[in-house]
Amino acid sequence: MKSKQYSVKVYETTVEDEDNFIAFFDANYTLFKDHLILLRGEASDTVRKYLEEKSLKYLVNVSLPMGRSRKAVEEEITLERIESQVNQQIAEAEIAKLSSRLKNNLTVKDTIVRSGQELFIEGDLLLLNRVNSGGLVHTTGNLIVTHQVEGAIRCDGNFMMISASPKANIIFHGVEIDNRLLENKLNRVELKNREIFITPIIVEKETSWVL
């Protein structure tokens, strides 16, 4: 049996200013082009697009255990991107399946709701991005958010779909939702006969590596 063991160089950083971040990596690209970039905190679409265009491998808010192979890390990067695409596809499929129940106009947005920003939608909303801490989304209709929520959600529709979001403040029909009940990758919160039901759409699974 033939085998190889790799040592991965990791550079950990926090993005506090997008322009400074990009300027730093432009100036030091040759130094970090063979590193795995580990980002802590928020990684905006602009930062992700820049890293991908520069062919820099990166992870966001991931704790790397000791002794993992380079292949395992690269596979996890690929899985992270696939899961994000799957979440979006499932959300779109769910909203299509439930379209007969949508009574209002559907709005689709693919922008980050940033701190201090308030997004008020008359009708249904499909949000293909995250809600940052300090941001607020309020819909009179149904709501689907495919990324993690760290801000506030106010939904007055028949249902909403949301990922596990332990930092979020979520009010559904005037009732605060216990974040501990939103433990799966994607959950449907639904109002039936004046009762609120929470159903997992994507269940959190542990990934094991065989090296």
Q: Which pLDDT tens digit goes with each residue over 163-173?
A: 888 889 999 98
Angle at 109 between CA 199 and CA 90, to 5 degrees: 35
Question: For residues 175 and 157, is the Cβ–Cβ distance under 8 A?
Answer: no
- Strand, coil or helix: 127: strand
Domain boundaries, the chain: 10-68, 94-202
Encode the chain (211 residues) as per-residue pLDDT tens digits: 566 666 678 888 888 888 888 888 888 888 878 888 888 888 888 888 888 888 888 888 877 665 556 666 666 666 666 666 666 666 666 656 655 555 557 888 889 999 999 999 999 998 988 999 999 999 999 998 888 899 999 999 888 888 888 889 999 988 898 888 877 777 888 888 878 888 887 655 443 333 3
What is the dotted CATH code of the domain comprising 94-202? 2.160.20.70
* Selection from 169, 133, 138 nearest residue 155 by Cα: 138
| pTM tops 0.75 | no
What span, in angstroms and rounded, lies between the C-alpha atoms of 151 and 103? 26
